[in-house]
Structure 1
Amino acid sequence: MSTPVLSDFVKAYDVRGVVPEQLNVDVAWALGSAFASEIVIADGAPGVVIGHDMRPSSPELSRAFAAGVSAHGIEATLIGLCSTDGLYYASGALGLPGAMFTASHNPARYNGIKLCRAGARPVGQDSGLAQVRDTAQQLLDSGTSAGPAGAARGSVVERDVLGDYAAFLRQLVDLSAIRPLTVVVDAGNGMGGLTVPAVLGTGAGLEALPLTVIPLYFELDGTFPNHEANPLEPENLRDLQRAVVEHGADLGLAFDGDADRCFVVDEHGDAVSPSAVTALVATREVAREVEAGTRAADVSVVYNVISSAAVPEIIAEQGARGVRTRVGHSFIKAEMAREDAVFGGEHSAHYYFRDFWFADTGMLAALHVLAALGEQPEPLSRLTAAYSRYAASGEINSTVADTSAATARARSWAAARGAEFDELDGLTATYAGVDGDPMWWFNLRASNTEPLLRLNVEAGDADTMSRVRDDVLALVRGEG
C-alpha cells in the first residue's frame, strides 16, 4: 500500500479518512507521535487522554496513536469507548490534551480523529493541526516508527471516566423536581447507546429520575445496520418520529454517531428546530446567571450566521448580549472564550457550554430540554412555539461551477429588493420588512472543499420563505 497523503483527509477541524487506505495503524502512530511533539510537549502537558467510538477499527487505531504518543516518553491514558463530549470531559477534568477516534456520522468505512488541547480547547487547521499533519507526513515518508533517540517510552494506562462524566453533567442541570416524562431515544447504534443509560440512569450513585426511556438502536454497532447516525438528514429521524407517536411519548431525542449532537422531536413527532433549542437553552442559562447575581447585560450568548433570527431577538429580550459568529465549532469555541459566553448554539445541533470548558455536548443540551419540559405542564410543541417564530428552508446545497458569479447574481437580486448585506461568513442578505411586507434573509456560503454553495433562507411566513428560496436557488443554479 502506498504512503497516504495526509492533506487529502486531514481537514480544517479534524481527521476523517477511509480505513485502511487512508487511516491505518501506521498513520495513527505517526499522528500520535506528531501530536506529542507539536502540541503536547510544546504545551508542557504531562500526558494525553484518548477515547474511541464503536467503529470496528477504533480500538486498534487508538492504541496505535497511544504508541506514537508514548514513544516520546509521554503517558497515554486510554478511556476506551466514549462519546466525543465524554472525551472533552476527560480532557477538561484531567487537564490533558485529548484525541477522540470517531468519524461521527460518516459511513462505516470511515474513521477519524478529533484533537484538543488541555481543557478541551480545539486543535484545528490554524491552531496546530496543520503542523501535526506535516510532521506526521514526514514520519510516514521517512518510514520512521520509533520515537526520538534516547526518549524513555511513556506508559499506556487505562481509566474509566463514564461514571464521572455522567455525574458531572447531572450536577449542571437540576432534574429533581420535574414531572414524569416518557422519552424515546434513538442512539443510531452510536455512542448514545452507552452514554444515555449512564446519564439518565442510576449508575455511579445517581438518583433515579422520573423518566421512562424507550430505547431505539442502543446496541453499539459501527456498521450502522438501521440507519445512518446523522439526524440532520430527515430520513434518519423517521423511526424516532414514528416511535414517539406510537408510544404517546412526551418527546424524542436523537444523537449522532459520536453523540456530541442532539436533535429533538416533540410529542407530535415533529422535529424541533435546533435554533429553537438554542433559544430555549440560552434563556435558561441567562436566567441562571442572573439568579447568581450577574447583570443580564453582562451575559453573552454566541450563535452563528445561519441561526434563526429568533435567536438574537430572544437573547435581547432576556437583556443579554448575542454574539454572531461564523459557522463551525472552532469559530464558536474561540468566540465563546473571548466573550466568556455562558452558552453557544449552532443550527447543526451543536451546543456549547461555558461550564463544559466551552465545548459542545449534546447530552447537556438534552438535559436542559428535559428540565424545561418537566418544570411546566405544557407539551413540548407549545413550549417550543415561543422560540420558533419564522419559517426556515433548512440548508440546501447546489453544485455550482462558479460560486462567485452565482453569489453575485443572488446579491444583485437582493439589492434590487432593498436588502442589506454582510460577509461575516459567505453572503448574508437581510430585508427587514416594510409596511406589512414580511422580513426575510438568506445566507450563501461556499464549501471549502467542493464546488458547492450552501443556501439557508428564513422569512416571516412560509409563502415568503418559499418565494425567496425558489428565486435565489434559480439564480444560484443558473436557471433564473
Structure 2
Amino acid sequence: MHDLSTLIKAYDIRGTVPDQLDDDLAFQVGAAFAHHLGATLLAVGHDMRVSSPSLAAAFSAGVASRGADVLAIGFVSTDLLYFASGSQNIPGAMITASHNPPAYNGIKLCRPGAAPVGQDTGLREIRALLETGLPEYDGVPGRIRSEDLLPSYAGYLRRLVDLDGSRPLKIVIDAGNGMAGRIVPVVLEHPAFDLVQLYFELDGTFPHHVANPMDPANLEDLRIAVRLHGADLGLAFDGDADRCFFVDEEGDRVSPSAVVSLIATRELARRPGAAIVYNAITSKAVPEQVTEHGGRPIRTRVGHSFVKQVMADNNAVFGGEHSGHYYFQDFWNADSGMLAALHVIEALGQSAQPLSALMREFSRYVASGEINLTLEDVPAALTLVENHYRDVAADHLDGLTITLPGRGWFNLRPSNTEPLLRLNVEAADHATMAQVRDEVLDLLGQHVSTGR
C-alpha cells in the first residue's frame, strides 16, 4: 500500500520513483481521476524524465479502464498540457516533477478549461477513492490516440503577443535539458532573434544542472553565456517549462516580482481597472504599482491551484508569483513561462533601453531570495518566531508574515512540495534586508538541524 499522505501534496501528486510513485499507482490515479470526473476524454502529456513515458502510459491505461478516451500529446511542457485542456475544454494530466531532482516524478491534474485540481478541488476525493477502492466497471474501455499540439500551441501564444515590431535581439536560452528544449525553437523562431541554445537535449538525468532556476547556482551557466555572447537577455526554464527566469544583458538575475509588475502594467494597459493577483511572497512593489496603474491588487496563497482559483473568482487578467509562475486570463488562468517570456521579449524589443534599465522602474526593494531550512519541529519554530515579534503586525494567509515598521517584512512558509521551511525577506536596502534576515536565522538557529 502506498503512503498517500506523503505523496498527495496541496496541489499535485509528487514523490520518488519507484518507492513512492510507480506505474501501478499511476494506473490507479488515472482510473480514479476519470471516475471522479465522469470524463469521456482526457489529455495526457509528460516531460523528459526517465520514468515519465512509462508513468504516462500507465496513467492513460487507467483512464481508459474506466471507459474514457485519452488524447496522448507526448513530450510537452506543462503549459502545453494546459493549452490542450483549455482549447478543447477537457480534463488533463501532466506527468512531471517540475524542478525536483531526477529521482522524483509526479502528476499535475486539471479539470476542463485548465481549471486547477488541488486538495479542495478533487485531490481529497481522489485520495479517498485510492484508499477505499473504485467500484467495478464492466463497460467498454476507452481508446488512446496521439496528437502533436505543439504547432497549435505556438500559434496561439504568438497571436497573444505580437513580436513582429521587435528590434533585433540576441537571446540565450538555458533549457536545462528540460521540455523547453522542444518548445522554444518552435515558439521563438523569428527573423529578429538570434537564439543561443544551452542544454536543449531532452535528458531527465539533468547532466549539466538540475532544471531549477530558483537556485542561483543553476543560473550561472546562463549568466556566463549572456556576457560571453553579448546577448540582450537570457531565459532559463525549469524542467516542465512552466516557469521562466530572466537574466539581463549584464548577466544579473531579474527579480520575478519585477517581471510580475512589468506584465501587470502591460495587461492593465489593455484592461484598465482589472484585478491582478499576486502571492504572499511577492514584493510589496507589485500591489503598489498595480494600484498606481489603476488596477486592483489581490493577495493570495502560494501555489498554482490557489492563484488560478482566486483569478477565476475575481475575473483577474493576470497573476504572478515570486517563484517564476505567471498566469494569464487569456490562457485559461493557467501559468505559462513561455507566454511570460514573450511579454518580456516584446517589451524589450519595443524599447531602446537595455533590459536592466527597463526593469529598474519595477525594482523598488531588496529581497533575500528564498532561503530553504530543514527544521526538526516546524510548528514550534513558527510559534517561537511569532512570539518573538508579538508586538508587530503578523498575518497567517500563507505561513507567517511579519511586517516590521521601517524595516520591511519577512515570511516563513512550510513548503507544499518538499520537507522545508522557506524564508523570504524584503527591505528598502540591502543592509536592512541582511540585518532582518540574519536576525530571523539566528532566532531559528535554536531549531535548525541543517545549518544555513
**TM-score, length-scaled by structure 1:** 0.89
* Residue equivalent to 2:99: 105
What residue in structure 2 maps to residue 17 of structure 1? 15
| Residues 421 and 428, structure 1, Cα contact 8 Å, conserved in 2 | yes
- Counterpart residue number, 2:206: 224
Aligned length: 448
Are 2:67 and 1:73 aligned? yes
Mapped to 1, the partners of 2:176 and 2:76 lie a distance apart of 15
Cα distance, 1:173 vs structure 2: 0.7
Instruction: Give the whole-Å Cα distance in 1 for the aligned partners of 2:19 and 2:221.
Output: 33
Shift of 1:24: 2.1
- The offset of 1:6, in angstroms, is 2.9
Structure 2 counterpart of 1:431, one-letter code: L
Aligned-residue CA RMSD in angstroms? 1.9
Alpha-carbon distance, 1:124 to partner = 1.2
* Distance in 2 between residues matched to 1:28 and 1:265, nearest whole Å: 37
Q: 1:282 to 1:113 in 2, by over 3 A?
A: same
From the superposition, tell whether residues 479 and 358 of structure 1 become closer, same or farther in structure 2 (CA, over 3 Å).
Answer: closer
- Residue of structure 2 in register with 1:237 after alignment: 219
For 2:290 and 2:191, how far apart are their aligned partners in 1? Answer: 30
1:31 aligned to which of 29, 32, 36: 29
Secondary structure of the structure 2 residue equivalent to 1:78: strand
Q: CA deviation at 1:110?
A: 1.9
Tell me the SS of whatever aligns to 2:160.
coil
Counterpart CA distance in 2 for 1:282 and 1:165 is 23
Deviation at 1:288?
1.3
Q: Where in structure 2 are the equivalents of 1:385-396 lying within 5 Å?
A: 385-396=360-371
Structure-2 separation of matches of 1:399 and 1:74: 43
For 2:53 and 2:385, the matched residues in 1 are separated by: 48
| Residue of 224, 239, 243 corresponding to 1:257 | 239
Mean Cα displacement is larger for which, 11-20 or 89-98? 11-20
Residues 450/266 of structure 1: CA separation in 2 closer, same or farther (3 Å cut): closer
- Following superposition of structure 1 onto structure 2, how do residues 121-200 of structure 1 map, counting pairs within 5 Å? 121-139=115-133, 148-200=136-188
- Cα distance in 2 for partners of 1:410, 1:73 equals 52
Range 353-362 or range 21-30, more displaced: 21-30
- 8 Å CA contact retained: 1:398, 1:453: yes
Aligned residues of 2:172 and 2:226 also touching (Cα < 8 A): yes
Matches within 5 A, 1:313-328: 313-328=288-303
In the alignment, structure 1 residue 361 sits paired with structure 2 residue 336: yes
Corresponding residue of 1:431: 404
SS at match of 2:271: helix
- Does structure 1 residue 441 correspond to structure 2 residue 405? no
**Secondary structure, aligned partner of 1:11:** coil
Contact 2:399 2:411 in 1 (8 A): yes
Q: State the secondary structure of the residue aligned to 2:31.
A: helix
Describe the shift of the 1:289–1:411 C-alpha distance in structure 2 as closer, same or farther (beyond 3 A).
same
Letter in 2 for 1:410: V
8 Å CA contact 1:401–1:451 kept in 2: the answer is: no
What whole-Å deviation, never above 9, does each CA across 1:184-235 have from its counterpart, x for those lacking one? 000000000011011112xxxxxx3411110000011111111100011111
Provide the rounded CA distance (Å) in 1 between the counterparts of 2:390 and 2:222: 42
- Structure 1 residues 462 and 216 mapped into 2: Cα distance closer, same or farther (>3 Å)? same
Matching residue's letter, 1:347: H
What 5-or-longer segments of structure 1 have no aligned partner?
202-207, 291-295, 434-438
Question: Which residue of structure 2 aligns with residue 301 of structure 1?
Answer: 276
Could you list the per-position Cα deviations for residues 99-124 of structure 1 after superposition, in whole angstroms to 9, with x for gaps in the alignment? 11111122222221111100111111
DSSP-derived class of the 2:122 partner: helix
8 Å contact from structure 1 (residues 229, 236) kept in 2? yes
The 8 Å contact of residues 175 and 209 in structure 1, kept in 2 or not, is answered as no
Query: 1:444 offset after TM fit, Å?
Result: 1.9
Q: Separation in 1 of the partners of 2:413 and 2:137?
A: 47
Q: Which of the numbers 304, 308, 326 marks the counterpart of 1:333?
A: 308
Counterpart CA distance in 1 for 2:53 and 2:302 is 31
Shift of 1:10: 2.1
Give the drift of 1:401: 3.8
Give the Cα separation in 1 of the matches to 2:323 and 2:218: 15
Cα deviation, residue 447, structure 1: 4.1
2:222 maps to amino acid: L
> In the TM superposition, what is the alpha-carbon distance from 1:305 to its structure 2 partner?
1.0
How many angstroms does 1:421 deviate by? 2.3
Deviation at 1:176, TM superposition (A): 1.0
* SS in structure 2 at match of 1:430: strand
Task: Give per-residue Cα distances to partners, 1:343-371, cap 9 Å, x unaligned.
Answer: 00000000000000000000000000001
| Distance across 2 between alignment mates of 1:250 and 1:478 | 45
Q: Secondary structure at the match of 1:48?
A: strand
8 A contact 1:406–1:477 mirrored in 2 = no
Correspondence for 1:455 among 423, 427, 430: 423
> Which has the higher Rg, Structure 1 or Structure 2?
1
Instruction: Please say if 1:286 is aligned against 2:254.
Output: no
Moved more, 404-413 or 91-100: 404-413
Give the direction of change, closer, same or farther, for the CA distance of 1:182–1:156 in structure 2 (3 Å limit).
Answer: same
Q: Give the aligned partner of residue 372 of structure 1.
A: 347
Asked whether the equivalents of residues 66 and 137 of structure 2 are also in contact (C-alpha less than 8 Å), the reply is no
Cα pair distance change 1:60/1:368, threshold 3 Å: same
| Preserved CA contact (<8 Å) 1:229 1:257 | yes
Q: Which moved more, 1:323-332 or 1:419-428?
A: 419-428
Pair 321,447 (structure 1): closer, same or farther in 2 beyond 3 Å = same
Mapping for residues 38-77 of structure 1, pairs under 5 Å: 38-39=36-37, 41=38, 45-77=39-71
TM-superposed deviation, 1:455? 1.7
Deviations along 1:304-331, one digit per CA (max 9) or x if unpaired, are 1111111111101101110011111111
Local SS of the residue matching 2:213: coil
Cα distance in structure 1, aligned partners of 2:447 and 2:202: 45
Q: Which AA in structure 2 matches 1:464? A: T
* Unmatched 5+ stretches in structure 2: none
| Cα distance change on mapping 1:34 and 1:367 into 2, 3 Å | same
CA distance in structure 2 between the partners assigned to 1:342 and 1:130 by the alignment = 29
Counterparts of 1:478 and 1:107 in 2: how far apart (Å)?
Answer: 29
Tell me which residue corresponds to 1:82: 76
Contact 1:403 1:451 in 2 (8 A): no
* 2:386 aligned to which of 411, 420, 429: 411
